[in-house]
């Protein structure tokens, strides 16, 4: 049997960047400049700022296309290009330049981020038209694009961390964009703080890499993996997984994503669906050399992906808030990607493939949800929607393509990428292919059910909205991006499969060519099973949410429904296990510090303080004198000592 | 490199003259006191930059810009100055912070008159000793500056602070004096273990001495207690929150941003350089105290209801990181700790001074007296957030680079301690973001009268600090180039080299 693990050394070392790739730093600089101008110019830029920000985002996309074209003209081994920007740290033992790495993997992300990101800038011109702080919103969007591009273009884990935290900051600012609503301010804090828990993993991984390899840049780490102990590699892998769990809302750090829907809907589409939340998957795939050599860490990645996949699907089945249902589905879809990344060389490329197609159809659906909210006075309760297909034909059609794509309807984008993950999950020996394969298969059925439920509750069945709302189609700035993204839902999967995107990516993600392995079930059997489960999911949703009337008040539901509505009690667990005891500890320590430490730990000194301070208060005018006396005493002691000794 | 021009004396002399001028200022000119103070502090900054240009990065000597004069030859005391990159970076930081603080303190003494002129005179007087303590190359001279600076601080807190200023000032003084006296005993003992003579207190005479293990350890303890109180390290930190709460923001900035660094600087210069054996012996205890400081300071910060106290506890947490890096004794962790001392100065200054602007507008330093202020003063809220983010070590702002260097550098020797310290990273997000949430978010409050957003003078205070935080956040090279040769040199004296990474050379496949 051939080994699943490709030696990392096969990967061609990246050459110095030439041509457009040498200007890769401009990809980051354009939107960063936009953010700086809009924030510093203040209200003066209210009129032209949003358009400038949108233009700069497109400029990054344009340069990205130029780099992609350049790369397509190069041989497979010349596509990785590094550019050194400046020396970041050099302590003699830790030497690190700030540098960028342009290769197949990073350019794929550049295209996704700048294209979807620019479309969402355009959409926001319409969606945020009447917001008084529109300019600040565009500044933050630009900041996000710059940080996300830093994350994917970095050539070392430390520079990646700059982007990693940068997107976290942008996410925090945008979730809390309407933070005059206290609940939204709390949601923003929750996102940042849960992400920080994940960041512990990133920092420990950096520490462990430096301890093990003496370096933290991708090239050195990949090259030196062979010399490291199994324990060290497994630890690094687990630390990276912790980081990925925070950013990608994977179990057990998933609790922030639902609340993050407090942000304006374009933000949910760009940051909390299409791009930032997939950064964890990127991190795992980028670190494939470590995970290839640490099978235990990889297994942990797969298990986390499998749990989150089901977790998100279960929560998604019970949510009536359209954005929260979409957020749960995002969590579940990223679970698929994580699971695929954990499968190793058979899964890496499909994790990224699914990440790209998901970016299009999920962003499209979020924009569709925003369009629905726009026409429905910002309502989000799907029990108050129904039969919107007539009033909002474009939104209905574009959302419909996204729905068919995510449930994996044959021929649409999601089918090309997700079915590959399901097939890859059935590869392997022993219990694993059966467990992971069946989880992905079962998950496909659940996805079909909850996404059809969402689609039918919103657009089909009987109208349930009240008379004071007048649903209407959104303006062209909003619908045009939706149409473009829906074309992606329709055809991007087929196009990418046709141009052999997985094979093109393989030199980076697999350190070589793509290897085909036979799953434990035949591929047609898997495809038929997937299709049958999908059809079942649609059918059940059709019966309950299209054919039958949907009550406007949610029925009480059974224990499972209640649990799913409460996000499987994730917040209660966090409250009981972490927050409440933490708050108690802080209170006790505060009491201790105000009296205790002075009196107990410092002993006599503190006691003397309390005693003397009352007396010295009366002596305040003479205190300088007593101080001088003390000094004098010191000098006298010195003189005395000298005299005695000599 | 010996330069004929006494740069370091000049840097100290300028604020000394300034403070004498201010004390002697006739009543008729008292309303010009702050302008005069600002002028002298800017001159001192210019002289500091002049000294920086004369500093040779490639010199083989430990100290540069040296000046040596006999002072009390009978007891081996000299007036000897000289700096390495670590000391010079701290002097530069101090020289930048003083004018910024004076500008921030513009309206601190609204009644004006002689009280106002004395306030600024004490500040300049304090600067003299801040420069002196980092520039001293004679251990006794260091001690004199170390103790003498208590006088201006005592008056700045005790005469110009909040309602409990007397209590805070006396508590500060007692803790500092206690530490100082213990150090005095230790340094006298050290002198008698040295070669003696007319210049027996010079740092270079007292480095690399042969002494008994017991004597070395006792002297180490004497120095360390003084520096641990100054830094401050848990459990001898309790003077700091009181002092910071009762001080004016500008004074709190100098207290926490500059004076506390004497503790961590002293640990490198004296504890490790002069007593490497004892330092190694004490390392486990110090590392544990440092990690406790990181977590304890952060937890206490979360629990504070007063903004000034909160900021002072965040500093206790950050000083824990600095001490951790120092006692991990690796190139990266030392470089990180030294850089952290500088970065923390700017970060804390931004936090304290912007907090002061908010407190002046609200008339209260209670966090819960705010709420929804982002809609009242959007500009101040914005810069407060940036200052806060630097306090939670966000990448892109100066403290991050130093903190990650401390953690990564310490990890290679003490992975468990460094691992526990990373909890401080999460707690930092809590204390900063919860504070921002309570003060700035929520519905716009109903205020009796209009509140002005950030003024021109305030922008001049904040702009240089944020610019420095951003520049050093992305491009720490200028500071690291200054610090690293000093780190290498001192580590060579201490005689410790970095642990080797097992897979550093890679391996053939």
DSSP A380-421: -BGGG---TTTT-HHHHHHHHHHHHHHTT-TTSHHHHHHHHH
Task: Find the mean pLDDT for residues A485-501.
Answer: 90
Question: CA nearest B153 in A: which residue?
Answer: A624
What's B349-392 look like in SS3? HHHHHHHHHHHHHHCCCEHHHCCCCCCCCHHHHHHHHHHHHHHC
Sequence-distant (6+) residues with CB within 8 A of A239 are A201, A202, A204, A205, A208
Burial class of residue A383 (count of CB atoms within 10 Å of its CB; 0-12, 13-18, 19+): middle
Residues A378 and A480 in one domain: yes
Contact call for A634 and B181, based on CB within 8 A: yes
List of chain B residues with pLDDT < 70: 1-3, 448, 505-509
pLDDT in tens, A29-45: 999 999 999 999 888 88
H or E segment and range at residue A83: strand A81-90
How many CB atoms within 10 Å of residue A77? 11
Question: CA nearest A212 in B: which residue?
Answer: B501
B4 Cα to chain A: minimum distance (Å): 31
Residues from chain A that touch B158, judged by Cβ atoms under 8 A, are: 620, 623
Of A94, A169, A613, the CB nearest to B170: A613
The verdict on residue A430 lying in a domain is: yes
pLDDT of residue A643: 54
A86 Cα to chain B: minimum distance (Å): 8
For residue A110, is pLDDT > 70? Answer: yes
Of A164, A196, A602, the CB nearest to B235: A602
pLDDT of residue A556: 80
Contact A188, A179 (CB under 8 A): yes
Sequence-distant (6+) residues with CB within 8 A of A424 are A340, A343, A346, A347, A350, A519
Contact A70, A20 (CB under 8 A): yes
Distances (CA, A) of B93 to B49, B464, B484: 11, 12, 17
The verdict on residue A539 lying in a domain is: yes
Which of B501, B505, B507, B509 to probe the A interface (max A CBs under 10 A)?
B501
The verdict on residue A101 lying in a domain is: no
Residues A621 and A476 in one domain: no
DSSP B138: B
* CA nearest neighbour of B502 among A224, A8, A157: A224
Token code pair at residue B460: 């001049």
Residues A519 and A637 in one domain: no
Residues from chain A that touch B194, judged by Cβ atoms under 8 A, are: none
Residues A580 and A556 in one domain: no
Distances (CA, A) of A483 to A161, A361, A363, A371, A476: 35, 11, 11, 12, 10
Least confident of A164-173, A537-546, A622-631, B285-294: A622-631
Return d(Cα A322, Cα A450) in angstroms, integer: 11
Please give the interface size between A and B, counted as residue pairs whose CB atoms are below 8 Å apart.
240
Return d(Cα A443, Cα A407) in angstroms, integer: 10
Three-state DSSP class for residue B11 = helix
Contact call for B330 and A598, based on CB within 8 A: no
For residue A627, is pLDDT > 80? Answer: no
Contact B412, A207 (CB under 8 A): yes
Indicate the pLDDT class of residue A630, thresholds 50, 70 and 90.
Answer: low
Residue with tokens 């579940």: A332
For residue A598, is pLDDT > 60? Answer: no
Residues from chain A that touch B184, judged by Cβ atoms under 8 A, are: 634, 637-638
Residue with tokens 């044959």: A410
The verdict on residue A137 lying in a domain is: no
Sequence-distant (6+) residues with CB within 8 A of B422 are A200, A203, A204, B407
For residue A320, is pLDDT > 90? Answer: no
Residues A350 and A482 in one domain: yes
DSSP A548: S
pLDDT in tens, A418-434: 999 999 999 888 898 99
Token code pair at residue A11: 């990967």
Of B177, B404, B433, the CB nearest to A206: B404
Task: Find the mean pLDDT for residues A268-273.
Answer: 88
End-to-end C-alpha distance for chain A, whole angstroms: 86
The verdict on residue A256 lying in a domain is: no
pLDDT of residue A8: 38
For residue A593, is pLDDT > 60? Answer: yes
Contact call for B296 and A589, based on CB within 8 A: yes
Contact call for B442 and A185, based on CB within 8 A: yes
Residues A552 and A584 in one domain: no
Sequence-distant (6+) residues with CB within 8 A of B406 are B321, B322, B324, B325, B328, B333, B336, B337, B340
The verdict on residue A195 lying in a domain is: no
Phi, psi (5° rounding) for residue B80? -125, 120
The verdict on residue A309 lying in a domain is: yes
Return d(Cα A404, Cα A418) in angstroms, integer: 12
pLDDT of residue B178: 86
How many CB atoms within 10 Å of residue B409? 30
* CA nearest neighbour of A196 among B26, B241, B249, B394: B394
Phi, psi (5° rounding) for residue A97? -95, 150
* CA nearest neighbour of A35 among A132, A127, A166, A160: A166
Mean pLDDT of chain A: 86
Residues A323 and A388 in one domain: yes
The verdict on residue A408 lying in a domain is: yes
Three-state DSSP class for residue B444 = coil
Contact B186, B206 (CB under 8 A): no
For residue A619, is pLDDT > 50? Answer: no
pLDDT of residue B505: 66
Buried/exposed code over B22-58 (b: 16+ C-beta within 10 A; e: otherwise): beebeeeebeebbebbbbbbbbbbebbeebbeebeee
Last residue of a domain, one of A535, A560, A585: A560
pLDDT of residue B89: 96
Residues β-bridged to residue A95: A90
Residues A596 and A512 in one domain: no
pLDDT of residue A15: 80
Residues A432 and A580 in one domain: no
Contact call for B396 and A165, based on CB within 8 A: yes
For residue A390, is pLDDT > 90? Answer: no
Residues from chain A that touch B419, judged by Cβ atoms under 8 A, are: 204, 207
B476 Cα to chain A: minimum distance (Å): 7
Provide, rounded to the nearest whole percent, the portion of chain A with pLDDT above 90: 48
Give A307 or A642, the one with higher predicted confidence: A307
Which of B441, B471, B491, B499 to probe the A interface (max A CBs under 10 A)?
B441
A261 Cα to chain B: minimum distance (Å): 18
Contact call for A91 and B409, based on CB within 8 A: yes
Sequence-distant (6+) residues with CB within 8 A of A323 are A261, A265, A268, A366, A369, A380
Q: What is the span of the domain harbouring residue A398? A: 295-560
Contact call for B374 and A179, based on CB within 8 A: yes
Residues A370 and A479 in one domain: yes
What is the complex's ipTM, to 2 decimals? 0.92
Residues A616 and A475 in one domain: no
Residues from chain A that touch B475, judged by Cβ atoms under 8 A, are: 86, 88
pLDDT in tens, B15-48: 999 999 999 988 888 888 999 999 999 999 999 9
Residues from chain A that touch B474, judged by Cβ atoms under 8 A, are: 98
Task: Find the mean pLDDT for residues A130-138.
Answer: 91
Contact B438, B384 (CB under 8 A): no
Domain count, chain A: 2
Question: CA nearest B433 in A: which residue?
Answer: A189
Indicate the pLDDT class of residue A13, thresholds 50, 70 and 90.
Answer: low
Which of A169, A201, A598, A609 to probe the B interface (max B CBs under 10 A)?
A609
Last residue of a domain, one of A560, A588, A615: A560
Indicate the pLDDT class of residue A618, thresholds 50, 70 and 90.
Answer: very low
B7 Cα to chain A: minimum distance (Å): 28
Residues from chain A that touch B151, judged by Cβ atoms under 8 A, are: 624, 627
Contact call for A162 and B395, based on CB within 8 A: yes
pLDDT of residue A365: 93
Contact call for A589 and B303, based on CB within 8 A: yes
């Amino acid at each position: 049997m051939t080994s699943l693990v490709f030696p990392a050394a096969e990967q061609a070392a990246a050459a110095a960047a030439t041509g457009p790739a040498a200007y890769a730093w401009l990809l980051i600089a354009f939107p960063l400049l936009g953010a700086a101008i809009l924030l510093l110019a203040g209200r003066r830029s209210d009129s032209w700022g949003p358009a400038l920000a949108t233009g700069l985002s497109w400029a990054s996309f344009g340069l990205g296309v130029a780099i992609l074209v350049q790369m397509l003209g190069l041989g497979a081994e010349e596509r990785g290009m590094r550019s050194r920007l400046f020396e970041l740290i050099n302590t003699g033992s830790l030497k690190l330049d700030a540098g960028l790495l342009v290769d197949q993997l990073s350019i794929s992300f550049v295209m996704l981020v700048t294209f979807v990101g620019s479309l969402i800038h355009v959409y926001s011109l319409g969606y945020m038209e009447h917001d008084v702080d529109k300019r600040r919103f565009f500044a933050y969007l630009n900041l996000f694009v710059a940080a996300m591009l830093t994350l994917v273009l970095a050539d070392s884990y430390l520079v990646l961390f700059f982007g990693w935290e940068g997107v976290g900051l942008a996410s925090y600012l945008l979730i809390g964009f309407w933070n005059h609503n206290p609940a939204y301010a709390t949601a923003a804090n929750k996102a940042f703080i849960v992400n920080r828990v994940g960041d512990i993993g990133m920092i420990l991984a950096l520490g462990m890499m430096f301890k093990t390899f003496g370096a933290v840049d991708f090239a050195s780490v990949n090259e030196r993996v062979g010399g490291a102990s199994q324990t060290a590699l497994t630890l690094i892998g687990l630390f990276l997984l912790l980081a990925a769990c925070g950013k990608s809302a994977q179990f057990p750090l998933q609790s922030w994503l639902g609340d993050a829907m407090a942000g304006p809907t374009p933000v949910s589409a760009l940051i909390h669906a299409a791009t930032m939340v997939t950064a964890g998957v990127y991190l795992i795939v980028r670190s494939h050399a470590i995970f290839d050599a640490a099978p235990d860490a990889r297994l942990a990645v797969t298990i986390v992906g499998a749990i989150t996949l089901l977790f998100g699907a279960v929560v998604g089945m019970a949510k009536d808030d359209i954005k929260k249902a979409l957020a749960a589905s995002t969590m579940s879809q990223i679970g698929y990607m994580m699971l695929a990344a954990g499968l190793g060389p058979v899964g890496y490329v499909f994790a990224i493939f699914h990440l790209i197609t998901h970016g299009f159809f999920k962003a499209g659906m979020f924009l569709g949800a925003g369009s629905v909210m726009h026409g429905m006075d910002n309502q989000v309760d799907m029990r108050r929607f129904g039969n919107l297909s007539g009033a909002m034909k474009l939104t209905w059609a574009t959302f419909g393509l996204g729905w068919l794509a995510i449930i994996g309807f044959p021929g649409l984008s999601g089918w090309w990428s997700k079915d590959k993950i399901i097939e890859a999950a059935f590869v392997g020996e022993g219990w694993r292919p059966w467990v992971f394969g069946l989880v992905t298969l079962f998950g496909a059925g659940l996805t079909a059910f909850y996404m059809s439920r969402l689609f039918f509750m919103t657009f089909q069945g009987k109208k349930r909205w009240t008379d004071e709302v007048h649903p209407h189609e959104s303006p062209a700035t909003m619908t045009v991006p939706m149409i473009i993204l829906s074309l992606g839902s329709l055809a991007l999967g087929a196009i990418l499969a046709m141009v052999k995107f997985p094979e093109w990516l393989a030199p980076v993600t697999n350190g070589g060519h793509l290897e085909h392995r036979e799953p434990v079930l035949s591929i047609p059997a898997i495809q038929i099973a997937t299709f049958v489960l999908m059809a079942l999911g649609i059918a059940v949703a059709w019966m309950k949410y299209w054919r039958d009337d949907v009550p406007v008040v949610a029925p009480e539901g059974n224990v499972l429904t209640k649990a799913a509505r409460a996000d499987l009690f994730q917040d209660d667990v966090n409250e009981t296990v972490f927050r409440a005891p933490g708050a108690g500890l802080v209170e006790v320590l505060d009491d201790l510090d105000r009296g205790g430490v002075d009196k107990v730990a410092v002993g006599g000194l503190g006691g003397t303080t309390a005693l003397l301070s009352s007396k010295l208060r009366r002596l305040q005018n003479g205190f300088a004198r007593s101080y001088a006396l003390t000094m004098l005493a010191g000098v006298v002691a010195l003189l005395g000592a000298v005299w005695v000794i000599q | 490199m010996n330069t004929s021009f006494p740069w370091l004396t000049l840097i100290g002399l300028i604020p000394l003259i300034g403070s004498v001028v201010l004390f002697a200022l006739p009543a008729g000119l008292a309303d010009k006191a702050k302008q005069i103070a600002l002028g002298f502090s800017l001159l001192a900054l210019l002289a500091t930059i002049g000294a920086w240009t004369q500093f040779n990065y490639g010199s083989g000597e430990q100290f540069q810009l040296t000046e040596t004069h006999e002072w009390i030859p009978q007891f081996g005391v000299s007036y000897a100055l000289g700096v390495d990159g670590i000391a010079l970076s701290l002097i530069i930081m101090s020289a930048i912070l003083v004018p910024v603080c004076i500008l921030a303190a513009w309206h601190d003494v609204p009644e004006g008159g002689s009280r106002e002129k004395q306030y600024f005179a004490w500040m300049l007087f304090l600067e003299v000793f801040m420069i002196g303590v980092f520039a001293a190359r004679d251990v006794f001279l260091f001690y004199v500056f170390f103790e003498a600076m208590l006088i201006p601080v005592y008056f700045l807190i005790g005469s110009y602070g909040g309602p409990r200023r007397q209590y805070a000032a006396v508590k500060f003084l007692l803790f500092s004096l206690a530490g100082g006296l213990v150090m005095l005993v230790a340094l006298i003992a050290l002198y008698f273990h040295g070669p003696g003579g007319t210049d027996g207190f010079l740092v270079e005479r007292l480095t690399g001495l042969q002494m008994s293990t017991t004597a070395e350890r006792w002297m180490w303890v004497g120095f360390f207690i003084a520096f641990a109180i100054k830094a401050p390290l848990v459990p001898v930190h309790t003077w700091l929150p009181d002092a910071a709460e009762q001080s004016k923001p500008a004074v709190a900035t100098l207290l926490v941003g500059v004076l506390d660094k004497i503790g961590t600087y002293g640990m490198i210069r004296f504890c490790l350089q002069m007593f490497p054996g004892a330092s190694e012996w004490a390392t486990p205890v110090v590392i544990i105290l440092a990690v406790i400081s990181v977590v304890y300071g952060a937890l206490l910060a979360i629990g504070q209801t007063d903004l000034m106290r909160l900021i002072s506890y965040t500093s206790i947490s950050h000083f824990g990181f600095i001490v951790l890096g120092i006692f991990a004794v690796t190139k990266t962790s030392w470089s990180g700790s030294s850089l952290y001392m500088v970065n923390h100065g700017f970060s804390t200054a931004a936090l304290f001074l912007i907090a002061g602007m908010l407190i002046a507008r609200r008339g209260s330093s209670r966090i819960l007296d705010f709420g929804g202020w982002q809609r009242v003063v959007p500009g101040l809220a914005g810069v407060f957030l940036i200052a806060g983010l630097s306090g939670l070590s966000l990448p892109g702002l100066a403290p991050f680079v130093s903190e990650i260097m401390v953690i990564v550098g310490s990890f290679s020797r003490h992975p468990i301690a460094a691992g526990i310290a990373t909890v401080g990273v999460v707690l930092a997000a809590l204390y900063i973001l919860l504070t921002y949430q309570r003060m700035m978010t929520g519905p716009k409050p109903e205020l009796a009268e209009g509140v002005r957003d950030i003024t021109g003078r305030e922008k001049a205070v904040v702009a240089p600090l944020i610019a420095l935080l951003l520049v050093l956040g992305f491009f720490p090279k200028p500071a690291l180039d200054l610090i690293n040769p000093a780190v290498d040199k001192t580590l060579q004296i201490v005689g410790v080299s970095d642990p080797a990474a097992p897979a550093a050379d890679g391996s053939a496949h």
